[in-house]
Amino acid sequence: MALSRMQTEITYKSTAITGGEYYFTVVMDMAQAVSVRDIKAPTGLIRDSATEIPKDVSEDIQTAIGNLEDLVAQTSATNGTLTFTAETSKAVVFATAYANTNYRVALETGDFIPVRVTTKTTTGFTVEAGITYTGNVGYDVFV
């Protein structure tokens, strides 16, 4: 059986300084797009733009978004570091093959160079640098 995370959502409660309780759900889809929905004020579900949200609740919403992004980042399926030594590409081979290529890869370098994922398969992928590179490229795979 192949398992792919399609959407992650967490519902929060925020108590305003004025004492009212607000509930909201922070959602991240498989493309890592974040949204907020189902904001419920003490008077009920907010359905229009005329209803004001207290500043401290808005700040809690921003904190919740950051928490969800951190949680998803910490639960990537596979991660590691590739060490380039005067090279333009490196291959990553998974310990266990995925059922399909519907995974996403995030790359990070400490240098200002272009990098991209090429040759994505169920058993791995290739990271290609835009120049002959010596240094490290970190990667996180999300399913």
Residue that terminates a domain, selected from 74, 93, 127: 74
- Residues 109 and 63 both lie in one domain: no
Is the predicted pLDDT of residue 101 greater than 50, yes or no?
A: yes
Do residue 68 and residue 82 come from a single domain?
Answer: no
Q: What is the pLDDT of residues 58-74, one digit of tens each?
A: 999 999 999 988 887 76
Instruction: State whether 82 and 66 are in the same domain.
Output: no
Number of domains in the chain: 2
Give a yes or no: residue 2 inside a domain. Answer: no
Are residues 100 and 132 located together in one domain of the fold? yes
Domain that holds residue 36: 7-74
Q: How far apart are CA 25 and CA 36, in angstroms?
A: 6
82: confidence class by pLDDT, cuts 50, 70, 90 = very high
